[in-house]
Homo-oligomer: A and B are copies of this chain.
Amino acid sequence: MARAHWGCCPWLVLLCACAWGHPKAVDVGGQDVRNCSINPPYLPVTVVNTTVSLAALRQQMQTQNLLAYIIPDTDAHMNEYISQRDERRAWITGFTGSAGTALVTMKKAAVWTDSRYWTQAERQMDCNWELHKEVGTTPIVTWLLTEIPAGGRVGFDPFLLSIDTWESYDQALQGSNRHLVSIVTNLVDLVWGSERPPVPNQPIYALQEAFTGSTWQEKVSGIRSQMQKHQKAPTAVLLSALEETAWLFNLRASDIPFNPFFYSYALLTDSSIRLFANKSRFSSETLTYLNSSCTGPMCVQIEDYSQVRDSIQAYALGDVRIWIGTSYTTYGIYEVIPKEKLVTDTYSPVMMTKAVKNSKEQALLKASHVRDAVAVIRYLVWLEKNVPKGTVDEFSGAELVDKFRGEEQFSAGPSFQTISASGLNAALPHYSPTRELNRKLSSDEMYLLDSGGQYWDGTTDITRTVHWGTPSAFQKEAYTRVLIGNIDLSRLVFPAATSGRMVEAFARRALWDVGLNYGHGTGHGIGNFLCVHEWPVGFQSNNIAMAKGMFTSIEPGYYKDGEFGIRLEDVALVVEAKTKYPGSYLTFEVVSFVPYDRNLIDVSLLSPEHLQYLNRYYQTIREKVGPELQKRQLPEEFQWLQQHTEPLSARAPDPASWASVLVVSTLAILGWSA
């Protein structure tokens, strides 16, 4: 789980927002929000004055003969996190939340966002902007139809709408006599002008061979072989997602927060490799690494990033068929390819191939998780000593765990903004503390830490929830049921090619049993120094079937509004299961190695199988992390690990559940009086 939304996929925002219901706004520092209903309006100091920039935008709209202009919250690559220069919606509105669409007409301006951000929007937007507490294209179009007359033109930047989003606008407007107009030059950018953050310019570098699963040449050959075997014989694969280019060429940079990517597209044809990026960012070594001085089918020709649309359009003039994944391709590319020359799948072959890690990639990801466990354990040990002193707050805690991770070998920063949430704040799904707004950690409250690291060998993501004092019976029950969910899904044996959606309820059953549940997804894929939320692996309806070699998080939770939040998240590898009878079955091998909080486990709720699983897992943690802690000369942490991985004992072999069966049976024999 992370602050923004899952899976680099904008549609998930909707899913997430709906599923979470209406959590209360963050209430850690008062509710100083705007009041536009009085005259003059009340505006808190956090508000941005947008009058001038809005006027300038409307002038641009006028030159294009537009009555409305759509400003989405994404970038040209459908990234989960976007760089500052792509934060157009934030810049023009003042509202910096990660999700929300803006629409400007000649007279009005409005933002649509979900309940996570309502308070934030009221604190950041001035009264030029209406706030609409809805998401999806339907309410936007409904509003649009009342605001602009028939015949009106609605402009949009085609690089900021996915094919699906464009289709939903197009369908909603059909028959309305309002026209969607694709305008390649972004009008907000024109207004933003020189103030707009510059194009990132750090070097694009090749990963050391030690950190790659295959050479880029092997990957290119593999994708070409898929093209050849494809029924529709595509002549090229077009890659729009930054993680696709990064993976294919084993290249990395730091253009995007938390993701080691660089702005790029790639067109891999049967006879050429064309990488659209800023050539000045490649060192001569990297250019040599890419064979970029030659022109054969295994040489990478680097073309300028800005040329991609024209180049694809020119390529599409030939007798070609271009294979795209519709989830990550924008309308800006889509509209220049004749439909009969498109070969479409939901996910590109690179996305599909990347989802299954080879044995070297598996080993790399596992190794990064061992080191990551060291950082998290160091933090938990430190908390255990320092929280009782009353000196730790959520923000300083988050900084410390980030620091501990930074001290690990191959570290390249956090993989998302650390969620460090104490007490009632942990019930807010996407809460992150700030230096200004945060809560003190206390032995009287539960504390939830959801964090992860980028390392050259792998990306990590783990959530642990702890309590240093005396948890309530309800907190222990909820925690234990979340743990049972985690275990039940982790140890599940299921047929190969089962979709995650079919089995994710196993993570919920122990909660459902007593009327509890959680409102978010149960897991997501994860990459090798790539996305922390790596699509298309996971447990949602748009995820692909499970296959050996995939990694996914498993993260049930429970949230009690205004009181506490629990989430137990591990990363697991999909492995072959050895079944009693032969067959093609899979199961999970957990590769996160931090023990759960014994203080919060009610052993009486665990079955013998749960205890067996848990004790085996703890044994593995000792085997994997123990030597690492000793090697680092961290005796205190080693001691802590031994204590926290002591085998949990089964209850007396005559538990109430057995007794109740005997009682029911006896009553039954005596005449069904039970």
Contacts and interface: CB of A to CB of B under 8 A. Distances in A.
Interface stretch (A22-30, A114-122, A287-295, A502-510): A502-510
A658 B650 contact: yes
A623 interface: yes
Interface in A626-674: 646-650, 653-654, 657-658, 660-662, 664-665, 668-669, 672, 674
A579 B612 contact: no
A529 B502 CA distance: 32
Given A515-B581, A579-B515, A657-B608, A662 B674 contact: no
Contacts of A648: 665
Q: How many copies does the complex hold?
A: 2
B619 A672 contact: yes
Contacts of A506: 505-506, 509
A524 interface: no
B340 A175 contact: yes
B512 A616 contact: no
A646 B646 CA distance: 43
A615 B665 contact: yes
Given A501-B501, A502-B505, A513-B579, A664 B175 contact: no
A222 interface: no
A616 B660 CA distance: 12
Interface stretch (A247-255, A370-378, A489-497): A489-497
Contacts of A514: 579-581
Interface in A272-317: none
A534 B313 CA distance: 51
Contact of A665 (B515, B611, B661): B611
Contact of A505 (B494, B583, B611, B612): B494
Interface in A508-535: 509, 512-517
A582 interface: yes
Contacts of A512: 492-495, 585
Contact of A585 (B495, B504, B515, B619): B515
Contacts of A498: 505
Interface string A580-611: 11110100000000000000000000011101
Interface string A131-171: 00000000000000000000000000000000000000000
A612 B660 contact: yes
A595 B665 CA distance: 16
Contacts of A492: 509, 512
Contacts of A668: 615, 618-619, 647
A477 B340 CA distance: 55
A354 interface: no
Nearest to A673: B619
A612 B493 contact: no
Interface centre among A612, A615, A661, A668 (most CB of B within 10 A): A661
A622 interface: yes
B622 A672 contact: yes
Given A512-B493, A615-B665, A664-B647, A658 B583 contact: no
Contacts of A618: 668
Given A493-B515, A615-B661, A618-B668, 7 more contacts: A493-B512, A515-B580, A515-B585, A608-B661, A647-B664, A650-B665, A653-B653
Query: Which 10 residue pairs spanning A and B have beta carbons closest together?
Result: A515-B579, A515-B583, A514-B580, A515-B581, A647-B668, A647-B665, A608-B657, A608-B661, A650-B661, A619-B672
19 contacts: A493-B513, A494-B505, A494-B512, A498-B505, A503-B505, A505-B505, A505-B506, A512-B585, A513-B579, A516-B581, A608-B660, A611-B661, A616-B674, A618-B668, A623-B672, A646-B669, A648-B665, A649-B665, A653-B658
